[in-house]
Amino acid sequence: MDLGLRAHHVGCVVESIEESLNTYRDTLGFTNISEVYHISSQKVKVCFVEVAPGNYLELVEPLDKESAVGKLLKKRQSYYHMGYFVNDFERSLANLEEKGLRIITSFVSEAFNNKRCAFLFTEELHMIELIEND
């Protein structure tokens, strides 16, 4: 069954979005960069850098060093999830849960115009994010 997953971004934890932009914008030359969004429910700030047409690196800066993302940073674990747009959020979430993926959290994201999002773990403990598409 085709879930209609459309790759959007790879999430990467950083200590500072501004410092990381020095690398991606000033050193590597990527110029299509989003505004910085505060995702209050996740205690993070995020920014998207387009690294290829339609493909983004999400820079994720924890606002709380004791949050889940803050703990990843302490472990020096930076790449941590792949984000996908889905057309039928509820159906995709239920289908993946039936296939054995574990839902970690669901939330509304300011970075995606208050669309619903969910983080899930695969059996290999790879994290994916589903993002409600228009």
Q: What is the pLDDT of residues 108-129, one digit of tens each?
A: 999 999 999 999 988 867 789 9
Does 121 map to a domain? Answer: yes
Q: Would the pTM of this model clear 0.85, i.e. be above it? A: no
**Can you tell me the distance from the alpha carbon of 107 to that of 68, in angstroms, rounded to the nearest whole number?**
15
Question: Which residues of 14-109 form beta strands (DSSP E)?
Answer: 37-39, 44-52, 55-62, 79-86, 102-109
- Per-residue pLDDT, 124: 65
The total domain count for the chain is 1
Does 107 map to a domain? Answer: yes
Look up the domain containing 83 and give its range.
6-132
**Can you tell me the distance from the alpha carbon of 28 to that of 25, in angstroms, rounded to the nearest whole number?**
6
**CB proximity list for 125: less than 8 A, separation 6 or greater:** none
Does 60 map to a domain? Answer: yes
**At 72, which CATH number?**
3.10.180.10
DSSP state of 128: E
pLDDT digits (tens, 9 = 90+) for 29-72: 899 999 999 999 989 999 999 988 999 999 999 999 888 888 88
**Can you tell me the distance from the alpha carbon of 101 to that of 110, in angstroms, rounded to the nearest whole number?**
25
Q: Report residue 17 as tokens.
A: 């979005």
Does 24 map to a domain? Answer: yes
More confident residue, 123 or 25: 25
Phi, psi of 35 (to 5 degrees): -70, 170
Does 1 map to a domain? Answer: no
Does 19 map to a domain? Answer: yes
